[in-house]
């Protein structure tokens, strides 16, 4: 956040980092994007040309990919919270549980974006994950990973195991969110109060369809909605200058 604030202060001659934070917050709210995602994009995206009215070259609109595999009614494809929440609910419905979470890839880390049914200790502890869990293994392997019994699985260190069990999760299943180019953009994990035997072929296929639909949507969102948010931020900053 601090890096993005500094970039904006220098680029637009803002009076302080508070003004930069306010502009990013406005842009994030107007685009239904998390503030930290706007900040990361500001810090990592080449800035507009000096004096340019637009940040990016005009591009033709690109329709959102179909989301029918998420098993819901019409969705606002531009609303990240709505789409990710629906994808999470779809995974939980298929796997038969009410505990789960969504993580998105940020560099080599998985960052918690959405969760339900999990306690504060769990969500704080696993806010950022870079290895040693079923979700990280699913992301690296680009394939679904089932931990049938967290209590006996060798895939966790003692602290991680304690936090998971304390949240009431005895088993978990992680589904990578993969686009058409086989790039992993995140992971949805379901958590279960009892050890798992496994899932049927039909369940695994439904989870795969959810994976592909959500992964394609994340790719589209990052290529279209996020740049629009940066363009909006640029215009807001220019208006403040004026």
pLDDT tens digits in sequence order for the chain, 242 residues long: 889 999 899 999 999 999 999 999 999 999 888 899 999 999 999 989 888 899 998 888 899 999 999 987 788 988 999 999 999 999 999 999 999 999 999 888 999 999 999 999 999 999 999 887 889 999 999 999 999 999 999 888 899 999 999 999 999 999 999 999 999 999 999 999 999 999 999 999 999 999 999 999 999 999 999 999 999 999 999 988 86
What sign does the dihedral 75-79-82-86 (CA atoms) show?
positive
Domains present along the chain, CATH in parentheses: 2-49+222-241 (no CATH), 76-221 (3.30.450.40)
Q: Token match 């959405």: residue?
A: 114
Do residues 222 and 12 make contact, with C-beta atoms less than 8 angstroms apart?
no
Task: Give residue for tokens 């909006």.
Answer: 232
Exposed, middle or buried by CB within 10 Å (0-12, 13-18, 19+), for 71?
A: middle
Question: What separation in angstroms does the CA of 49 have from each of 11, 12, 54, 237?
Answer: 10, 12, 8, 14
Q: Which residue has the tokens 């003692």?
A: 158
What the block records as the tokens of 93 is 């419905």
Q: Which residues are paired to 176 by β-bridges? A: 187
């Amino acid at each position: 956040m601090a890096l993005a604030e500094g970039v904006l202060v220098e680029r637009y001659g803002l009076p302080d980092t508070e003004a930069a934070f306010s502009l990013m917050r406005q842009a994030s709210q107007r685009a239904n994007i998390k503030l930290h995602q706007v900040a990361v994009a500001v810090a990592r995206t080449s800035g507009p040309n000096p004096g340019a009215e637009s940040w990016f070259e005009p591009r033709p609109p690109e329709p959102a990919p179909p989301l029918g595999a998420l098993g819901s009614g019409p969705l606002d494809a531009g609303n990240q919270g709505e789409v990710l929440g629906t994808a999470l609910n779809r995974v939980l419905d298929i796997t038969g549980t009410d505990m789960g979470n969504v993580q998105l890839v940020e560099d080599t880390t998985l960052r918690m974006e959405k969760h339900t049914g999990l306690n504060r200790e769990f969500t704080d502890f696993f806010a950022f994950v870079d290895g040693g869990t079923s979700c990280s293994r699913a992301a690296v392997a680009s394939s679904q990973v089932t931990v049938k019994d967290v209590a006996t699985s060798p895939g966790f260190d003692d602290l991680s195991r304690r936090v998971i069990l304390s949240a009431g999760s005895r088993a978990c299943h992680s589904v990578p969110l993969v686009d058409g180019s086989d790039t992993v953009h995140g992971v949805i994990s379901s958590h279960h109060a009892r050890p798992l035997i496994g899932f049927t072929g039909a369940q695994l296929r439904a989870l795969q369809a959810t994976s592909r639909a959500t992964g394609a949507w994340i790719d589209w969102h990052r290529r279209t909605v996020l740049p629009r948010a940066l363009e909006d931020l640029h215009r807001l900053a220019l208006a403040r200058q004026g």
